[in-house]
Amino acid sequence: MEVKINSVHFNADQKLVDFVNKKVGKLDTFFDGIIKAEVTLKVIKPEAANNKVAELELSIPAQDNLFAKKQADSFEEAIDLATDALKKQIDKYKEKLKNK
């Protein structure tokens, strides 16, 4: 699976990039058919708390993309929340495939 990371209005350090790759890469264990993952990291209102946003979009064959957007105090926490949300979406998608 190809993982593309976009950081908006800041440069993501290598530690954050490695963390994102590791967490998003684990989604492959839940579903083999993921083509690519696009991750967008944004800071909204730098002076406010809870200002880090992570958006994850997974490309899956023969299906609309799966998408999650989460906001938290840190990018790591936002990525954790978004990957958890996508795990649930993947489970629902796999259940739908079984019932066809």
At 4, list the tokens: 């593309």
Pairing of strands 36-43, 66-72: unpaired
Asked if 37 and 65 count as a contact pair (C-beta separation under 8 A), the reply is: no
- Give me the residue label for tokens 């800041």: 10
Mean pLDDT of 92-98: 87
Mean of the per-residue pLDDT values of the chain: 92
pLDDT digits (tens, 9 = 90+) for 27-69: 999 988 899 999 999 999 877 889 999 999 999 887 779 999 9
pLDDT of residue 88: 96
pTM of the model: 0.91
Burial class of residue 35 in the structure, from the number of CB atoms within 10 Å of its CB (0-12 exposed, 13-18 middle, 19+ buried) = exposed
pLDDT of residue 2: 92
For residues 27 and 43, give the distance between their C-alpha atoms in angstroms, rounded to a whole number: 24
pLDDT of residue 15: 97
Domains and CATH numbers, the chain: 2-98 (3.30.160.100)
Pairwise pLDDT comparison (47 vs 6), residue with the higher score: 6
